[in-house]
Amino acid sequence: MLTQAEQRRTFAKAERPGDRHLLDRRLGAGELVMPVKGRYIRKPLWDSLSYGDRIAYRLRTICREHPDWVLSGVSAAAIHRYTSSMYLQRYVHIAVTDPHQTGKRGLVVAHYTPDLQVVVVDGIRVTSPEQTMFDCARTLDFPTAMSICTMGLRATGNPAASLQDYCAAQRRKRGLPRARFVAEHVDPMCTNGGEAVSLAVSLELGFAQPQCQRQFISPIDGGAIYADFTWTRDDGSLVVGELDGREKYVNPAMTGGDDVVAVTLREKDRETEINMLNIPVVRFQMVHVRNRTPFEQRLVAAQVPRPNLGKRTPFTGYVCTEY
């Protein structure tokens, strides 16, 4: 059973009481893991999986038991690989075309989707990329919606205008103003979800929309250097914002195989080159962004323009209950 499940990239399920007893015994011995009640996987395999793959295993297992289901919202976003955040996956979100089937039943939330657009991704039926981004934009909180839509646009290679056009064509949908607000401000130039969240939080704090991944020319060797965020102050001068995430220092895909010291020194060299252009750099971390106050203090001290302080948005007072 375990081998067959691994070939399907799903969890194993005991069909007979005797099998359940054997699996539970191996679970108690530490050989197996039970990510979902009554569903098992070998511990070495589970430990080797990324967060995105762990989510996919869980959803693939559920959809194999319910082959007529179509995943939507954050569940579809996980299969599309627009997010790998485990905390978003408390519930399984599905789309239904019958309004009488909507509602929450245990860990399953059914959403009425009359204009359902279905695609198959890695063997799983999910809503289309555009519909998935739209549903996330209108139902999630602003930072999470911005992160998913940013990665969705990057994955599809589409510009923000494509999402804007899709949202503009929708009528009488719950949360439509929120979706249009996300589409208006999302920037696929953000290279990862952390940058997208930082952008969203800065906008919620009333700061001006920055230019993402602006290119500068190095005064040392004439090469191209890129800044995460660039704002133009009221006096016309520039200020650069740089997000220091742990991943850029430890993820081999981002470090180019270099160690932490080499990556850190390269970052310092890049900051020096920007400073030599007479452009100050304000650095911040995700802990600052999540806590907001340290992030706000840094941007205020850097004299980042704040034209929207106190202005209401479609997300003002909105409480997300999707996860």
Average pLDDT of span 148-152: 98
DSSP 187-211: -TTS-SHHHHHHHHHHHHTTPPPPE
pLDDT at 268: 81
pLDDT per residue as tens digits for the range 80-106: 999 999 999 999 999 999 999 999 999
What's the first-to-final CA gap in the chain, in angstroms?
Answer: 32
Helix or strand (DSSP H, E) at 272: helix 260-275
Candidates 220, 227, 191, 226; CA nearest to 302 is 227
In Å, how far are 59, 71, 86, 197, 305 from 91, measured between CA atoms? 10, 11, 11, 22, 39
pLDDT per residue as tens digits for the range 114-131: 999 999 999 999 999 999
Whether residue 281 has pLDDT greater than 90 = yes
Average pLDDT of span 239-265: 64
Instruction: Please state at what angle helix 142-156 crosses helix 129-139, rounded to 10 degrees.
Output: 170
Whether residue 250 has pLDDT greater than 60 = no
Candidates 163, 152, 191; CA nearest to 73 is 152
Candidates 307, 316, 74; CA nearest to 178 is 316
Residue type, 92: V
Write out 78-122 in H/E/C secondary structure: HHCCCCCCHHHCCCEEEEECCHHHCEEECCEEEEECCCCCEEEEC
Say what the alpha-carbon torsion angle 34, 59, 195, 244 is, to the nearest 10 degrees.
Answer: 20
How many angstroms separate the CA atoms of 32 and 1, rounded?
Answer: 13
How many angstroms separate the CA atoms of 208 and 191, rounded?
Answer: 19
Whether residue 260 has pLDDT greater than 70 = no
What predicted TM-score, i.e. pTM, was given to this entire model? 0.91
How many angstroms separate the CA atoms of 70 and 100, rounded?
Answer: 16
pLDDT per residue as tens digits for the range 154-164: 999 999 999 99
Other beta carbons within 10 Å of 281:
16
| Residue 119 near residue 77 (C-beta atoms within 8 A) | no
pLDDT at 271: 87
| Residue 173 near residue 179 (C-beta atoms within 8 A) | yes
| Residue 241 near residue 295 (C-beta atoms within 8 A) | no
Whether residue 254 has pLDDT greater than 60 = no
Tell whether the torsion through CA atoms of 35, 37, 43 and 49 is positive or negative.
negative
pLDDT band at 262 (very low <50, low <70, confident <90, very high): low
pLDDT at 253: 46
Helix or strand (DSSP H, E) at 36: strand 32-36
Task: Quickly list H helices, 123-257.
Answer: 129-139, 142-156, 160-168, 176-185, 193-204, 247-250, 252-255
Each domain of the chain, given as residue ranges in start order, spans 1-48, 66-185, 208-301
Radius of gyration of the chain (CA): 22
